[in-house]
Structure 1
Amino acid sequence: MSRFTRTQKILMCLIGFFLALGLLFQGMRQASIGDIGYSVLSYLKYGLIDYPLTSIKNFASDFSNLWKVQEENDYLKEQLSMTENYQALYENAQREKRELQELLNMNESLSDFNIISATVIGRDVSYWNDQITLNVGSNDGIQEDMIVVNSQGVVGKVHKVQDSTCIVKLLTCEDKSNKVAVRINFQNEDTGEDAQSEETDSASRAESVEGILESYDADEGAYVVSLLDEQEVEEGMRVVTSGKGGVYPSGLFVGTVKKVESLENQLGQVIYVEPLSNFQYFDYVSVIEVN
C-alpha cells in the first residue's frame, strides 16, 4: 500500500514545479544584476580613464599637426617674400647688365680716347642733380676736368680728385659756370620725290647749329641752350658736344630738344634740351682722358 495518496503526490509535484521555477527566476535575476554591474564599471572606466586619455591624445596630435601647419605656413610666407626679393635682384641685375653692355658699346665708339671705367659709389640726395662720387682717383690716372659719360652720353666732368675717389660735377648742376659748347643736329626725314625736289635747298642749308649749354632749369627738367646762329630749331632734334669748348670732345650725346621758346621783346630763342633718359639713375660710367 502506497505511503502517499494521490492528492499528496499532486501537491508535491506542484510544489516541486514552483520551486524549480523560483530557482530559475532567481538565477535569471542574479545574472541581470551582474550584467548591470559590469556595464556600470565599463562606463566608469570609459568616462574616467579611457575617454580623457583618448581626448588628451587626440588634442596633442591635433596641436602637433597645427604647429606643423603653422611652421609650413611661415616657411611658405618666407619663401614667397624671398621670391619677391629674388625677382627684384634679378631685375636689378638685368638692368645693370644692359647698362654695362650699352657702356661697352659707348666705349668702343670712343676708341680714340683713353677710357677709365668707374662705378658710382655716392650720390647725396640733397645734391642729387649736382654731383656724384666715383670709385677712382689720382691713383687710377684721374685728373680734374676729365669728361664723364654713362651708357647714353655725357653726364659731367671731374671736379675734385683724391687718391682713390673723385667728385664729378653733373651737367644738371645749376652752377651757371658749368657751360658746354654744343651742336644741334637738324634731321631731314624727307624721302622720295619731295626729298629730291628739295635737294638744292638742303645742300645750301646748314646741317647743324652751334650753341652754348648755359645752365640747367630744375623746373623744366631740361638744359637751357642759347644759339650762336639764328636757325629754326624743332623739338626732337639731337644735341651733342661740339668739341669747340676746349674741354668736351666732339660728338658726345647730351640730349634732345624738348621745347623752343621765342624771347619776348628781342630776337632769339630759348632752347630747352631734355637730358639723357637714364640721367637720374645710373651706376656705371667711363672717364675720358682727352689727348
Structure 2
Amino acid sequence: MPQFFLNKKLIVLLVSIIILVALIGFSLREREQLSWPEQFLKDSTGLIQQVFHTPAQFVAGVLENLRDLQNTYEENQKLKARLDEYVKLKTEVQNLEKENAELREILDKKDSLREFSPIQATVIGRNPDRWHEMITINKGSIHGVKKNMAVITSKGLIGKVKYSNQFTSSVQLLSAMDPKNRISAKIQGEKDVFGLIEGYDKEKQMLLLKRIPYNEKIKKGSNVITSGLGGIFPAGLLIGKVEKTVTDQYGLTQTAYVKPFADFYDISNVMVANPKMEAAVSEDKKQTEGEGS
C-alpha cells in the first residue's frame, strides 16, 4: 500500500511536469489570437497596473513638483542675494565714479588757482538742524585752515570757514541765513558790475546779489565771480550765473537772483583757499622750525 502511494505521487508529478511543458510550449508558439485564460489574465493584470499606476504617478508628480518648487525657492534666494550684492556694488561703483570725477575736476582746476594754495578736505559731518548753514570738514588749523578762508568745490564757491579747530573746521555755506555772511562779487560782461552776495532765497534756491546800481544792464546767464575787493576771498572764484534781476521799491538799486554753480545739498570733497601770502609764510615758518630743531 505505501509503495502504491509513492508511485501515485511520482505519476502525478510527472503528469504535472508534462502539462507545464505543454503549456509553456503552447504559450511560446506564434498565434494570431490568445486564449481566453491568457486574455483574462492579461486584462486583469493591466487593470490592476492601471489602478495602482495612476495614483502612484500622481504622487510621484506631486513630489517632483515639490522638489522643483524647493529648488526654485533656493535659486530665488541665491539670486536675491546676488541681486542685493549687485545693487550694493553698483552703488559703491557710482559713488567711486562720482568721487573720482570730483577729484579729477579738482586736480584739473589746480592750474588755474593762482591766487591761493588749495587745501584739500573731505566733508565728515552735516548738522540736520542747520542743513542749509553748516558742514564739517576733516582739516583744521594744524593743516593751515583759518577762519574766513573761502571753501570751494570743483563747481564753485560754497562758503567760508566759520570756525577752525585743531583737526576739523566748520564751514558756513552761502545758503546760511546770516546777515553778516556777505561776499564781494562781480557780474562778468562787457563791463563788470559789482555788488554784494547777501542772503539766500530757499524757495528759489538762489543767492541774492544786492546793491547793483539801478542803471546797469544785466544779461541773464552772466557769470558771477568773487571780486577780491572784500579782502577775504581771492578774486575769480566762480559763484553762479544770473537768472533774473529785480529793482528795489525805491528804484535806486537792483537785486540779481544768482543760481549757484555748486550744489549745496551734495558736497563731498572741497578745497579751502589758503591765500598765497599766508601759504608762503606758513611754509617759511615750517622750514625755520625744521632748521631750529
TM-score, normalising length: structure 2: 0.71
State the Cα distance separating 1:111 from its structure 2 match. 4.4
CA distance in 1, matches of 2:55, 2:243: 83
Unaligned regions of 5+ residues in structure 1, if any? 1-30, 188-206
* Percent sequence identity over aligned pairs: 29
Matched, 1:173 2:157: no
CA distance in 2, matches of 1:169, 1:159: 6
Inter-CA distance 285–42: structure 2 relative to 1 (3 Å threshold): same
**Alpha-carbon deviations, 1:25-76, whole Å to 9, x = none?**
xxxxxx967975786578668756x766655444333321221122223333
Question: Among 107, 117, 121, which residue is 1:118 paired with?
Answer: 121
TM-score, normalising length: structure 1: 0.72
**RMSD value over aligned CA atoms?**
2.7
CA distance in 2, matches of 1:137, 1:55: 76
Instruction: Write the mapping of 1:27-46 to structure 2, written as runs, cut at 5 A.
Output: none
Asked which structure has the greater CA Rg, the reply is: 1
CA distance in 2, matches of 1:41, 1:152: 89
Instruction: Please name the residue that 1:248 is paired with.
Output: 233
> Is the Cα contact below 8 Å between 2:248 and 2:255 reproduced in 1?
yes
State the Cα distance separating 1:252 from its structure 2 match. 0.4
> Is the Cα contact below 8 Å between 1:106 and 1:152 reproduced in 2?
no
CA distance in 1, matches of 2:39, 2:265: 93
Instruction: Please name the residue that 2:200 is paired with.
Output: 216
Inter-CA distance 286–45: structure 2 relative to 1 (3 Å threshold): same
Q: Kindly provide the amino acid, as one letter, of the partner of residue 118 in structure 1.
A: A
Instruction: Please name the residue that 1:109 is paired with.
Output: 112
State the Cα distance separating 1:139 from its structure 2 match. 3.0
State the Cα distance separating 1:219 from its structure 2 match. 2.9
Matched, 1:237 2:225: no
Q: Kindly provide the amino acid, as one letter, of the partner of residue 256 in structure 1.
A: K
**Alpha-carbon deviations, 1:209-251, whole Å to 9, x = none?**
2211122222332222223655222211111111111110111
Q: Kindly provide the amino acid, as one letter, of the partner of residue 209 in structure 1.
A: V
> Is the Cα contact below 8 Å between 2:123 and 2:270 reproduced in 1?
yes
CA distance in 1, matches of 2:50, 2:203: 85
CA distance in 1, matches of 2:218, 2:269: 32
> Secondary structure of 2:271's partner?
strand
> Is the Cα contact below 8 Å between 1:236 and 1:257 reproduced in 2?
yes
Q: Kindly provide the amino acid, as one letter, of the partner of residue 69 in structure 1.
A: T
Matched, 1:161 2:145: no
> Is the Cα contact below 8 Å between 1:174 and 1:217 reproduced in 2?
no
**Alpha-carbon deviations, 1:91-122, whole Å to 9, x = none?**
33322222221122222311452221111111
CA distance in 2, matches of 1:54, 1:266: 95
Unaligned regions of 5+ residues in structure 2, if any? 1-34, 278-293
Q: Kindly provide the amino acid, as one letter, of the partner of residue 70 in structure 1.
A: Y
Alignment size in residue pairs: 241
Matched, 1:151 2:144: no
CA distance in 1, matches of 2:39, 2:135: 97
CA distance in 2, matches of 1:232, 1:154: 25
Question: Among 39, 59, 63, which residue is 1:60 paired with?
Answer: 63
Matched, 1:263 2:263: no
CA distance in 2, matches of 1:71, 1:128: 45
Matched, 1:131 2:134: yes
Q: Kindly provide the amino acid, as one letter, of the partner of residue 222 in structure 1.
A: M
CA distance in 2, matches of 1:99, 1:176: 31
